Amino acid sequence: MSLPPSVHRALVKIVGERGVSVERSVLRDYSHDESSFEPVMPRAVVKPDTAEQVAEVLALADRYRLPVTARGAGSSLEGNAVPSPNGIVLSLERMNRVLEVLPEDFQARVQPGVVYDELNRLLARQGLFFAPGPASGDVATIGGMVGNNSGGLNALRYGVTRDNVLRLQLALANGTLISAGTRALKSSSGYDLVRLFIGSEGTLGIATEVVVRLHGVPERRTAWANFQSPEAAASAVFEIMRTGIVPGALELLDPESVRAVNAVLGLAWPELPMLLMEFHGTPAAIREEGEEGRRVCQEAGALAFRFASDGAEREQLWAGRKAVNRAERTLHPGCTFVKSDVAVPLSHYAQAVHQAHSLAERQALKLMTYGHAGDGNLHTSTAVPSADAEALSRAEALVEGLISFALSVGGTATAEHGIGLAKKRFLQLEHGPAVEVMQALKTALDPNGILNPGKILS
Protein backbone atom coordinates (compact mmCIF):
# COMPACT_ATOMS: atom_id res chain seq x y z
CA MET A 1 0.00 0.00 0.00
CA SER A 2 1.65 3.20 -1.11
CA LEU A 3 1.56 6.45 0.81
CA PRO A 4 -1.17 9.00 0.11
CA PRO A 5 0.45 11.65 -2.13
CA SER A 6 -0.20 14.37 0.46
CA VAL A 7 1.70 12.44 3.13
CA HIS A 8 4.51 11.71 0.70
CA ARG A 9 4.74 15.41 -0.14
CA ALA A 10 4.74 16.35 3.54
CA LEU A 11 7.57 13.90 4.24
CA VAL A 12 9.59 15.30 1.35
CA LYS A 13 9.01 18.75 2.74
CA ILE A 14 10.57 17.66 6.02
CA VAL A 15 13.54 15.55 4.91
CA GLY A 16 13.96 16.53 1.27
CA GLU A 17 13.56 14.42 -1.89
CA ARG A 18 16.60 12.27 -1.17
CA GLY A 19 15.35 11.58 2.35
CA VAL A 20 12.25 9.65 1.22
CA SER A 21 12.51 6.37 -0.69
CA VAL A 22 9.58 4.44 -2.06
CA GLU A 23 11.39 2.33 -4.68
CA ARG A 24 10.57 -1.35 -4.33
CA SER A 25 14.21 -2.40 -4.05
CA VAL A 26 14.82 0.02 -1.19
CA LEU A 27 11.62 -0.97 0.59
CA ARG A 28 12.70 -4.60 0.29
CA ASP A 29 16.10 -3.82 1.90
CA TYR A 30 14.33 -2.34 4.90
CA SER A 31 11.58 -4.96 5.15
CA HIS A 32 13.38 -7.23 7.62
CA ASP A 33 15.96 -7.43 10.36
CA GLU A 34 18.26 -10.35 11.18
CA SER A 35 15.40 -12.41 12.59
CA SER A 36 13.59 -15.07 10.63
CA PHE A 37 10.30 -13.20 10.45
CA GLU A 38 8.53 -12.77 7.17
CA PRO A 39 9.54 -9.43 5.64
CA VAL A 40 6.99 -6.64 5.85
CA MET A 41 7.25 -4.01 3.14
CA PRO A 42 7.19 -0.47 4.54
CA ARG A 43 5.31 2.25 2.66
CA ALA A 44 8.40 4.43 2.64
CA VAL A 45 11.90 4.62 4.07
CA VAL A 46 12.59 8.02 5.59
CA LYS A 47 16.13 9.14 6.35
CA PRO A 48 16.27 12.29 8.46
CA ASP A 49 19.43 14.33 8.94
CA THR A 50 18.53 16.10 12.18
CA ALA A 51 16.67 15.61 15.44
CA GLU A 52 14.19 18.27 14.40
CA GLN A 53 13.38 16.32 11.26
CA VAL A 54 12.81 13.16 13.32
CA ALA A 55 10.40 15.08 15.54
CA GLU A 56 8.57 16.56 12.55
CA VAL A 57 8.21 13.14 10.94
CA LEU A 58 6.69 11.82 14.15
CA ALA A 59 4.28 14.74 14.42
CA LEU A 60 3.17 14.06 10.86
CA ALA A 61 2.89 10.33 11.47
CA ASP A 62 0.86 10.98 14.60
CA ARG A 63 -1.53 13.19 12.65
CA TYR A 64 -2.01 10.51 9.98
CA ARG A 65 -1.84 7.52 12.39
CA LEU A 66 1.09 6.20 10.39
CA PRO A 67 3.13 3.49 12.17
CA VAL A 68 6.82 4.37 12.44
CA THR A 69 9.55 1.78 12.97
CA ALA A 70 12.90 3.31 13.86
CA ARG A 71 15.90 1.46 12.49
CA GLY A 72 19.63 1.49 13.14
CA ALA A 73 21.56 -1.23 11.32
CA GLY A 74 18.67 -3.68 11.28
CA SER A 75 20.84 -6.24 13.07
CA SER A 76 18.23 -7.02 15.72
CA LEU A 77 17.37 -10.69 16.15
CA GLU A 78 13.79 -10.77 17.40
CA GLY A 79 11.88 -8.82 14.77
CA ASN A 80 12.34 -5.56 16.69
CA ALA A 81 13.06 -3.65 13.47
CA VAL A 82 10.68 -5.46 11.12
CA PRO A 83 8.38 -2.69 9.85
CA SER A 84 4.93 -2.49 11.38
CA PRO A 85 2.24 -3.23 8.79
CA ASN A 86 1.25 -0.19 6.69
CA GLY A 87 3.99 1.83 8.32
CA ILE A 88 7.16 3.63 7.40
CA VAL A 89 10.73 2.93 8.39
CA LEU A 90 12.62 5.80 9.96
CA SER A 91 16.25 5.00 9.35
CA LEU A 92 18.76 6.92 11.46
CA GLU A 93 21.67 5.97 9.19
CA ARG A 94 22.45 9.53 8.13
CA MET A 95 22.66 10.77 11.70
CA ASN A 96 26.02 9.14 12.18
CA ARG A 97 28.29 11.79 13.62
CA VAL A 98 30.28 11.74 16.83
CA LEU A 99 29.37 15.21 18.05
CA GLU A 100 31.73 15.58 20.96
CA VAL A 101 34.24 13.53 22.94
CA LEU A 102 34.81 14.73 26.50
CA PRO A 103 37.80 12.66 27.62
CA GLU A 104 38.08 14.49 30.94
CA ASP A 105 34.52 13.47 31.83
CA PHE A 106 34.74 10.00 30.25
CA GLN A 107 31.78 10.88 28.03
CA ALA A 108 30.90 11.21 24.36
CA ARG A 109 27.88 12.76 22.67
CA VAL A 110 26.89 10.92 19.52
CA GLN A 111 24.13 10.65 16.98
CA PRO A 112 22.12 7.42 16.94
CA GLY A 113 23.43 6.20 13.59
CA VAL A 114 27.05 5.93 14.76
CA VAL A 115 28.34 2.35 14.47
CA TYR A 116 29.64 0.84 17.71
CA ASP A 117 33.04 -0.33 16.42
CA GLU A 118 33.61 2.96 14.61
CA LEU A 119 32.97 4.94 17.77
CA ASN A 120 35.45 2.75 19.63
CA ARG A 121 38.08 3.09 16.90
CA LEU A 122 37.84 6.85 17.33
CA LEU A 123 37.88 6.66 21.14
CA ALA A 124 40.86 4.28 21.20
CA ARG A 125 43.10 7.16 20.12
CA GLN A 126 42.34 8.76 23.48
CA GLY A 127 42.63 5.53 25.46
CA LEU A 128 38.87 5.31 25.97
CA PHE A 129 36.07 2.94 25.01
CA PHE A 130 32.28 2.57 25.13
CA ALA A 131 32.01 -0.70 26.92
CA PRO A 132 29.00 -2.99 26.33
CA GLY A 133 30.61 -4.83 23.42
CA PRO A 134 27.84 -6.34 21.29
CA ALA A 135 29.16 -9.23 19.19
CA SER A 136 27.58 -7.43 16.21
CA GLY A 137 29.52 -4.24 16.97
CA ASP A 138 30.86 -4.04 13.43
CA VAL A 139 27.37 -3.04 12.28
CA ALA A 140 25.27 -2.27 15.39
CA THR A 141 24.48 1.41 15.89
CA ILE A 142 24.34 3.31 19.16
CA GLY A 143 20.67 4.10 18.52
CA GLY A 144 19.90 0.44 17.99
CA MET A 145 21.77 -0.43 21.17
CA VAL A 146 19.65 2.12 23.01
CA GLY A 147 16.49 0.67 21.50
CA ASN A 148 17.29 -2.88 22.56
CA ASN A 149 19.31 -2.17 25.69
CA SER A 150 22.09 -4.18 24.10
CA GLY A 151 24.53 -6.09 26.18
CA GLY A 152 27.65 -7.75 24.91
CA LEU A 153 30.98 -9.24 25.80
CA ASN A 154 32.01 -6.58 28.31
CA ALA A 155 28.65 -5.99 29.97
CA LEU A 156 29.69 -8.28 32.82
CA ARG A 157 32.18 -5.75 34.16
CA TYR A 158 30.89 -2.48 32.73
CA GLY A 159 27.14 -3.00 32.44
CA VAL A 160 24.76 -3.03 29.50
CA THR A 161 23.69 -0.03 27.43
CA ARG A 162 21.25 1.05 30.16
CA ASP A 163 24.18 1.38 32.56
CA ASN A 164 26.29 3.39 30.14
CA VAL A 165 24.04 6.14 28.88
CA LEU A 166 23.75 9.38 30.83
CA ARG A 167 21.56 11.50 28.66
CA LEU A 168 19.23 11.10 25.72
CA GLN A 169 17.63 13.53 23.38
CA LEU A 170 14.34 11.96 22.37
CA ALA A 171 11.66 12.63 19.81
CA LEU A 172 8.21 11.78 21.16
CA ALA A 173 5.12 10.58 19.36
CA ASN A 174 3.58 14.05 19.56
CA GLY A 175 6.54 15.58 17.77
CA THR A 176 8.25 17.23 20.73
CA LEU A 177 11.94 16.88 21.45
CA ILE A 178 12.99 16.37 25.05
CA SER A 179 16.27 15.94 26.82
CA ALA A 180 16.32 13.30 29.55
CA GLY A 181 19.04 12.60 32.09
CA THR A 182 22.13 14.53 33.09
CA ARG A 183 25.83 14.58 32.42
CA ALA A 184 26.46 14.13 36.15
CA LEU A 185 27.25 10.54 37.12
CA LYS A 186 24.21 10.22 39.36
CA SER A 187 20.93 11.97 39.91
CA SER A 188 17.75 11.69 41.96
CA SER A 189 16.03 14.48 40.07
CA GLY A 190 12.60 13.27 38.99
CA TYR A 191 11.77 10.05 37.20
CA ASP A 192 14.49 8.10 35.40
CA LEU A 193 13.33 8.61 31.83
CA VAL A 194 16.67 7.59 30.34
CA ARG A 195 16.39 4.02 31.53
CA LEU A 196 12.71 3.83 30.70
CA PHE A 197 13.31 4.75 27.07
CA ILE A 198 16.39 2.51 26.78
CA GLY A 199 15.17 -0.93 25.84
CA SER A 200 11.76 0.29 24.74
CA GLU A 201 12.53 -0.75 21.15
CA GLY A 202 11.29 2.47 19.63
CA THR A 203 7.81 2.05 21.13
CA LEU A 204 7.97 5.08 23.46
CA GLY A 205 10.15 7.54 21.58
CA ILE A 206 13.17 7.73 19.30
CA ALA A 207 16.64 8.66 20.52
CA THR A 208 18.11 11.45 18.42
CA GLU A 209 21.25 12.06 20.48
CA VAL A 210 23.02 9.95 23.08
CA VAL A 211 25.54 10.88 25.76
CA VAL A 212 27.43 7.68 26.53
CA ARG A 213 29.64 6.97 29.48
CA LEU A 214 33.17 5.83 28.64
CA HIS A 215 35.88 3.89 30.39
CA GLY A 216 39.63 4.02 30.09
CA VAL A 217 41.07 1.08 28.15
CA PRO A 218 42.48 -1.07 30.97
CA GLU A 219 45.37 -3.51 30.99
CA ARG A 220 43.99 -6.85 29.81
CA ARG A 221 44.89 -10.49 30.19
CA THR A 222 43.06 -12.98 28.01
CA ALA A 223 42.78 -16.71 28.59
CA TRP A 224 40.85 -19.72 27.38
CA ALA A 225 40.08 -23.08 28.93
CA ASN A 226 38.58 -26.35 27.73
CA PHE A 227 36.27 -28.62 29.67
CA GLN A 228 34.83 -32.08 29.31
CA SER A 229 31.21 -30.93 29.16
CA PRO A 230 29.36 -27.62 28.74
CA GLU A 231 27.97 -28.15 32.24
CA ALA A 232 31.49 -28.38 33.67
CA ALA A 233 32.44 -25.16 31.88
CA ALA A 234 29.30 -23.49 33.26
CA SER A 235 30.16 -24.63 36.76
CA ALA A 236 33.60 -23.07 36.41
CA VAL A 237 31.89 -19.79 35.47
CA PHE A 238 29.95 -19.88 38.71
CA GLU A 239 33.11 -20.62 40.70
CA ILE A 240 35.01 -17.75 39.04
CA MET A 241 32.23 -15.29 39.80
CA ARG A 242 32.02 -16.57 43.37
CA THR A 243 35.58 -15.38 44.03
CA GLY A 244 34.34 -11.80 43.71
CA ILE A 245 36.53 -11.19 40.66
CA VAL A 246 34.62 -9.34 37.95
CA PRO A 247 36.24 -10.30 34.66
CA GLY A 248 36.12 -7.94 31.67
CA ALA A 249 34.55 -10.82 29.76
CA LEU A 250 33.65 -14.44 30.51
CA GLU A 251 32.21 -16.32 27.56
CA LEU A 252 31.06 -19.86 26.93
CA LEU A 253 31.19 -21.71 23.61
CA ASP A 254 29.97 -25.27 23.20
CA PRO A 255 31.64 -27.70 20.75
CA GLU A 256 29.06 -26.92 18.04
CA SER A 257 29.94 -23.23 18.25
CA VAL A 258 33.67 -23.95 18.19
CA ARG A 259 33.25 -26.21 15.15
CA ALA A 260 31.36 -23.47 13.30
CA VAL A 261 34.01 -20.88 14.10
CA ASN A 262 36.83 -23.24 13.10
CA ALA A 263 35.14 -24.06 9.80
CA VAL A 264 34.45 -20.48 8.80
CA LEU A 265 37.59 -18.75 10.12
CA GLY A 266 39.93 -21.62 9.35
CA LEU A 267 40.99 -22.05 12.97
CA ALA A 268 41.90 -25.20 14.85
CA TRP A 269 40.49 -24.62 18.31
CA PRO A 270 39.95 -27.89 20.23
CA GLU A 271 36.34 -28.84 19.55
CA LEU A 272 35.48 -29.01 23.21
CA PRO A 273 33.43 -26.83 25.55
CA MET A 274 35.42 -23.64 25.92
CA LEU A 275 35.55 -20.67 28.23
CA LEU A 276 37.03 -17.46 26.96
CA MET A 277 37.86 -14.92 29.63
CA GLU A 278 39.61 -11.62 30.05
CA PHE A 279 40.78 -9.84 33.18
CA HIS A 280 40.79 -6.04 33.22
CA GLY A 281 42.55 -3.68 35.60
CA THR A 282 45.97 -2.62 36.73
CA PRO A 283 48.94 -4.82 35.74
CA ALA A 284 49.19 -6.31 39.23
CA ALA A 285 45.45 -6.92 39.49
CA ILE A 286 45.17 -8.78 36.21
CA ARG A 287 48.21 -10.88 37.02
CA GLU A 288 46.63 -11.86 40.31
CA GLU A 289 43.15 -12.37 38.89
CA GLY A 290 44.47 -14.35 35.96
CA GLU A 291 46.21 -16.79 38.32
CA GLU A 292 43.05 -17.05 40.39
CA GLY A 293 41.06 -17.74 37.22
CA ARG A 294 43.48 -20.49 36.25
CA ARG A 295 43.32 -22.05 39.71
CA VAL A 296 39.52 -22.04 39.74
CA CYS A 297 39.28 -23.51 36.23
CA GLN A 298 41.75 -26.25 37.07
CA GLU A 299 39.88 -27.12 40.26
CA ALA A 300 36.69 -27.24 38.19
CA GLY A 301 38.31 -29.87 35.97
CA ALA A 302 39.63 -27.82 33.04
CA LEU A 303 41.34 -30.05 30.45
CA ALA A 304 43.46 -27.10 29.34
CA PHE A 305 44.01 -23.50 30.37
CA ARG A 306 46.10 -21.00 28.43
CA PHE A 307 46.77 -17.29 28.45
CA ALA A 308 46.89 -15.52 25.11
CA SER A 309 50.57 -14.95 24.43
CA ASP A 310 50.20 -11.65 22.60
CA GLY A 311 47.81 -9.07 21.21
CA ALA A 312 47.39 -10.97 17.95
CA GLU A 313 46.25 -14.12 19.73
CA ARG A 314 43.91 -12.01 21.88
CA GLU A 315 42.39 -10.42 18.77
CA GLN A 316 41.91 -13.81 17.18
CA LEU A 317 40.16 -15.24 20.23
CA TRP A 318 37.63 -12.42 20.33
CA ALA A 319 37.18 -12.37 16.57
CA GLY A 320 36.35 -16.07 16.84
CA ARG A 321 33.82 -15.51 19.58
CA LYS A 322 32.15 -12.69 17.69
CA ALA A 323 31.95 -14.77 14.53
CA VAL A 324 29.68 -17.47 16.02
CA ASN A 325 26.47 -16.01 14.60
CA ARG A 326 27.93 -15.39 11.19
CA ALA A 327 29.62 -18.78 11.14
CA GLU A 328 26.33 -20.53 11.80
CA ARG A 329 24.65 -18.64 8.96
CA THR A 330 27.48 -19.49 6.59
CA LEU A 331 27.39 -23.17 7.45
CA HIS A 332 23.64 -23.50 7.11
CA PRO A 333 22.43 -21.71 4.00
CA GLY A 334 18.68 -21.84 3.45
CA CYS A 335 18.07 -22.33 7.14
CA THR A 336 15.97 -20.49 9.66
CA PHE A 337 17.67 -19.89 13.00
CA VAL A 338 15.56 -20.25 16.10
CA LYS A 339 17.28 -18.47 18.91
CA SER A 340 16.95 -17.88 22.60
CA ASP A 341 18.63 -15.36 24.85
CA VAL A 342 17.70 -16.25 28.41
CA ALA A 343 19.54 -15.14 31.52
CA VAL A 344 19.35 -16.84 34.90
CA PRO A 345 20.81 -16.16 38.34
CA LEU A 346 24.36 -17.49 38.24
CA SER A 347 23.76 -20.40 40.62
CA HIS A 348 21.41 -21.84 37.96
CA TYR A 349 23.67 -21.32 34.96
CA ALA A 350 25.06 -24.87 34.72
CA GLN A 351 21.52 -26.17 35.09
CA ALA A 352 20.35 -23.90 32.25
CA VAL A 353 23.11 -25.20 29.98
CA HIS A 354 22.15 -28.77 30.86
CA GLN A 355 18.48 -27.99 30.30
CA ALA A 356 19.20 -26.55 26.85
CA HIS A 357 21.09 -29.65 25.75
CA SER A 358 18.58 -32.10 27.14
CA LEU A 359 15.69 -30.20 25.54
CA ALA A 360 17.58 -30.39 22.23
CA GLU A 361 18.05 -34.11 22.66
CA ARG A 362 14.37 -34.58 23.45
CA GLN A 363 13.43 -32.62 20.31
CA ALA A 364 16.12 -34.40 18.25
CA LEU A 365 17.67 -31.08 17.28
CA LYS A 366 21.25 -30.00 16.85
CA LEU A 367 21.86 -27.07 19.16
CA MET A 368 24.50 -24.39 19.47
CA THR A 369 24.94 -22.83 22.90
CA TYR A 370 27.18 -19.89 23.66
CA GLY A 371 26.96 -16.58 25.40
CA HIS A 372 27.93 -14.15 28.07
CA ALA A 373 28.26 -16.74 30.78
CA GLY A 374 29.54 -14.42 33.49
CA ASP A 375 26.23 -12.63 33.75
CA GLY A 376 24.18 -15.76 33.38
CA ASN A 377 23.25 -15.09 29.77
CA LEU A 378 22.86 -18.16 27.57
CA HIS A 379 22.30 -17.95 23.83
CA THR A 380 21.05 -20.98 21.97
CA SER A 381 20.50 -21.35 18.27
CA THR A 382 19.00 -24.11 16.18
CA ALA A 383 19.39 -24.16 12.42
CA VAL A 384 16.26 -25.53 10.77
CA PRO A 385 15.63 -25.88 7.04
CA SER A 386 13.33 -22.95 6.30
CA ALA A 387 10.68 -25.12 4.65
CA ASP A 388 10.53 -27.69 7.46
CA ALA A 389 7.53 -26.53 9.49
CA GLU A 390 7.64 -29.57 11.71
CA ALA A 391 11.30 -29.06 12.70
CA LEU A 392 10.59 -25.39 13.19
CA SER A 393 7.88 -26.16 15.68
CA ARG A 394 10.21 -28.51 17.57
CA ALA A 395 12.80 -25.72 17.68
CA GLU A 396 10.18 -23.37 19.03
CA ALA A 397 9.26 -25.94 21.67
CA LEU A 398 12.91 -26.06 22.71
CA VAL A 399 13.03 -22.28 23.14
CA GLU A 400 9.77 -22.34 25.05
CA GLY A 401 11.09 -25.04 27.37
CA LEU A 402 14.29 -23.15 28.04
CA ILE A 403 12.48 -19.87 28.72
CA SER A 404 10.07 -21.64 31.06
CA PHE A 405 13.06 -22.99 32.94
CA ALA A 406 14.72 -19.56 33.10
CA LEU A 407 11.56 -17.94 34.43
CA SER A 408 11.06 -20.73 36.97
CA VAL A 409 14.41 -19.86 38.58
CA GLY A 410 13.84 -16.10 38.59
CA GLY A 411 15.51 -15.35 35.25
CA THR A 412 14.43 -13.50 32.14
CA ALA A 413 13.19 -14.49 28.68
CA THR A 414 15.59 -12.10 26.99
CA ALA A 415 18.80 -10.70 28.38
CA GLU A 416 19.81 -8.44 25.52
CA HIS A 417 17.97 -9.10 22.26
CA GLY A 418 14.68 -7.59 23.41
CA ILE A 419 11.09 -8.76 23.03
CA GLY A 420 10.47 -7.60 19.46
CA LEU A 421 7.93 -9.89 17.83
CA ALA A 422 9.54 -13.20 18.73
CA LYS A 423 9.33 -13.10 22.51
CA LYS A 424 5.96 -11.33 22.92
CA ARG A 425 4.24 -14.51 23.99
CA PHE A 426 6.55 -14.71 27.02
CA LEU A 427 6.04 -11.16 28.27
CA GLN A 428 2.93 -11.93 30.31
CA LEU A 429 4.51 -15.13 31.62
CA GLU A 430 7.54 -13.21 32.85
CA HIS A 431 5.88 -10.05 34.16
CA GLY A 432 2.29 -10.92 35.01
CA PRO A 433 0.22 -7.86 35.95
CA ALA A 434 3.26 -5.59 35.47
CA VAL A 435 2.47 -5.83 31.75
CA GLU A 436 -0.58 -3.66 32.42
CA VAL A 437 1.72 -1.01 33.84
CA MET A 438 3.87 -1.19 30.70
CA GLN A 439 0.72 -0.85 28.63
CA ALA A 440 -0.38 2.20 30.63
CA LEU A 441 3.00 3.86 30.08
CA LYS A 442 2.82 3.11 26.36
CA THR A 443 -0.65 4.62 26.13
CA ALA A 444 0.42 7.69 28.09
CA LEU A 445 3.38 8.41 25.80
CA ASP A 446 2.01 7.21 22.48
CA PRO A 447 -1.78 7.52 22.67
CA ASN A 448 -2.28 6.92 18.97
CA GLY A 449 0.01 3.92 18.89
CA ILE A 450 2.27 5.05 16.05
CA LEU A 451 5.62 4.05 17.55
CA ASN A 452 6.67 0.60 16.35
CA PRO A 453 3.21 -0.83 17.07
CA GLY A 454 2.98 -4.55 17.70
CA LYS A 455 6.47 -4.79 19.20
CA ILE A 456 6.87 -5.71 22.88
CA LEU A 457 3.15 -5.14 23.58
CA SER A 458 0.18 -6.15 21.46
Selected binder of its own copies within 344, 350, 353, 384 (CB under 8 A): 344
Binding-residue pattern over the window 199 to 228 for its own copies, x denoting contact by CB under 8 A: xx---x----------xx-x----------
Selected binder of its own copies within 164, 257, 414, 452 (CB under 8 A): 414
According to the binding rule CB under 8 A, does residue 287 interact with its own copies? yes
CB of 382 to its own copies, least distance (A): 21
Rule CB under 8 A: which of 137-166 touch its own copies? 148-151, 155, 159-160, 162-163
| Cβ neighbour number for residue 250 with a 10 Å cutoff | 24
| Cβ neighbour number for residue 399 with a 10 Å cutoff | 23
The residues, any chain, with a CB within 8 Å of residue 272's CB and separated by 6 or more, are 226, 227, 228, 255, 258, 303
Rule CB under 8 A: which of 40-59 touch its own copies? none
Binding-residue pattern over the window 243 to 282 for its own copies, x denoting contact by CB under 8 A: xxx-----------------------------------xx
CB of 178 to its own copies, least distance (A): 4
The count of chain residues that interact with its own copies, using the rule CB under 8 A, is 95
Nearer to its own copies (CB atom), residue 91 or residue 150:
150
Stretch that binds its own copies, among 44-52, 316-324, 327-335, 423-431 (CB under 8 A): 423-431
Rule CB under 8 A: which of 373-412 touch its own copies? 375-377, 406, 409-412
Stretch that binds its own copies, among 27-35, 50-58, 174-182, 390-398 (CB under 8 A): 174-182
Selected binder of its own copies within 142, 237, 413, 422 (CB under 8 A): 413
